[in-house]
Amino acid sequence: MELGLRGRVAAITGPAKGMGAAVTRAFAAEGCHLVLLGRDTAAIGPVAREAEAAGVRTAILACDVTDGGAARAAMDAGVAALGGLDILVNVAGGSGPIGKTGETTTEAEFDEIIDLNVRGCFNTMRAAIPHLRARGGGRVVNVGGTFGMRGRAGRMAYSASKWGLRGITKSFALELGADGITVNTVAPGMVDGPRFREKVCREMAQRLGITEEEAARRHAADYALRRVSTDADVANACVFLASDAARQITGADLPVDGGWAAL
């Protein structure tokens, strides 16, 4: 299937590692030029060089997405460097406190994750919209999470942030449809990688007195497909929602979780 992405410009937040790096590679493989936004520009360098080796142009911009002014300035600079913008993919985010109840979560912990996962996407969307409108339409893909669809004990702050992101996504989708801009959410479940292994599995292992590998197997057993998602699974979903194949999809949540949200 021809996805129609070659030659388009995609801005990606949080592109340096893990899921963000996988998303960056996937869009580069489709021939998209890339505006890469993150706090640590040196960390973005290796994945940018991979993308350039695939034949696409990149612009690396320092950006704290929680700062609206910084988001606008970085987005404007990236668009100026690459000549426009067609796609925004918001990957940047955090996990918040793990294993803490709502009662024991501090105000500072709650504020920090809401600021990053909700305000950060709000800021970059507002920065991108004028550029997408100038192209006559475009795509916004926000990376949420299935804890924002079912909730999760011990992850109240993170769940709240992802529920909030869903609300922003759906409202923007309704507001921007007439401009030809689609806005959707990809909702990963657990994604195998350093954060999953070193934070989630480690916390479960310590709490239950089991190995981290056993903790990973227990998480996988929660899913209909009996496997934990990979970065590539999430990246493929982002590419699809950004493509011409998804032109009639907006305001949607696409779980990439092996069936956990449906159970």
Active-site residues: which are they? 158
Nearest Cα residue to 20 out of 63, 73, 80, 72: 63
Q: Hey, how many other C-beta atoms are within 10 angstroms of the C-beta on 83?
A: 9
- What is the spatial distance between Cα 90 and Cα 260, in angstroms, rounded to a whole number? 22
Q: What is the dihedral of CA 184, 185, 186, 188, to 10 degrees?
A: -170
- What is the spatial distance between Cα 252 and Cα 21, in angstroms, rounded to a whole number? 24
Nearest Cα residue to 128 out of 170, 89, 167: 89
Contact (Cβ atoms closer than 8 angstroms) between residue 18 and residue 62:
no
Q: Hey, how many other C-beta atoms are within 10 angstroms of the C-beta on 89?
A: 30
- What is the spatial distance between Cα 165 and Cα 118, in angstroms, rounded to a whole number? 5
